[in-house]
Each structure stands twice: as structure tokens, then as C-alpha cells.
Amino acid sequence: MALKATLRPTWAAHYLEPGGAWDVPSLDAVLAEKTPGPVAERIASVAGGLRARGVRRGDPVAWQLRNVDEAVMLYRACWRLGAVAVPVHHSMGTADVAAALAQVEPRVTLTAPADVDGLVRLAPPVTAAQSAARPADLAVALFTSGSTGTPKAVLHTQRGLAYKA
């Protein structure tokens, strides 16, 4: 039996945002409990702050945070801009972090939730309609554990993430 793909050539990861083609209400409800203001506005503000820091379509944005709400905001803000989200696991050692960052050469690196909060005040929000993301653009670089050597980046496109959702 052949599987029928439902992949649409125009899908991109920012469609997963509040009010996007596929809302994620359960995630948004969790974030809304802990986040000041509506989730969509917060994502737009973080995206605006990243853009004010010089982040453009295709630029890597790295962060090393625990599993906190700000990490989710960064993913979604990056996808809105068409930037590449680069989460670096919080338990990675110094040498592995340096090797990972050398592979992606991030435009911006954030290491504390307060760094994300600081972005909100930098510039006007970026709306979903202003998204520069294209389906074939890279959306995220995830790193392997490095069990057989240096951690390696595994790349995923905007379309691939939207399809997997």
C-alpha cells in the first residue's frame, strides 16, 4: 500500500503560530498562563527584537536554555522571520557547545530567559503577514548527542516541520 503524502508546497513552520493555518491551542494555552500578554503578540515582539539585532531570513539564531517558555517563543519567532532556530542542549559541555556554534555561526546567541525578554523591547513586532520564510528554507538545526564524536547539526526545512506537525 502506498502512502499518500499531504505535503503542500507552500507550507512553512510559521503556519503553526496562533492564528496561523494550524493553531496549536493546547500549547498556546500553556504559554498564555505564564506569558505576559497574548502569545501571538509575544512571538511577534520577540521576532521584532531579533530583527532589530540584525537577524534576517536564513540567519542562525542559537540559544542554550533549559526547557522554558522563552525557548518556545524563540523557535516561533525564528520561524516567523525565516531564521534558523538553533537550540543547543543545556547540558552540553563547553567544547561541544563551541563545536556546535562553529558549525552554524549564529548571528545571535542567547543564554538566559532574560535575553529573550530584552528582545521584546527593541523594536516593533513582526506579524505573520510580514514573514520572510519560504517552504524550502532551513527552519531548525538540531544537534546529535555526539556519542561517536563531535555533535553534528541535523537540518530541517520549514516545509518539513510543517509537514511533520
Q: What is the pTM of this model?
A: 0.80
What tens digit of pLDDT does each residue of 6-15 get? Answer: 444 555 555 5
Write out the DSSP string of 2-22.
Answer: PPPP---TT--GGGGSTTSSS
Spatial CA neighbour of 50 closest among 29, 75, 68, 31: 75
Q: Over 60: is that where the pLDDT of 116 sits? A: yes
Tell whether domain 13-164 is in CATH 3.30.70.1350. no
What tens digit of pLDDT does each residue of 42-65 get? Answer: 888 999 999 999 999 999 999 999
With a CB cutoff of 8 Å and minimum separation 6, the contacts of 74 are 46, 61, 63, 65, 85, 87, 110, 116
Least confident range of 71-80, 83-92, 123-132: 123-132
The alpha carbon of residue 37 and the mean position of all alpha carbons in its chain are separated, in whole angstroms, by: 20
Q: Where do the structural domains in the chain lie, given as residue ranges?
A: 13-164
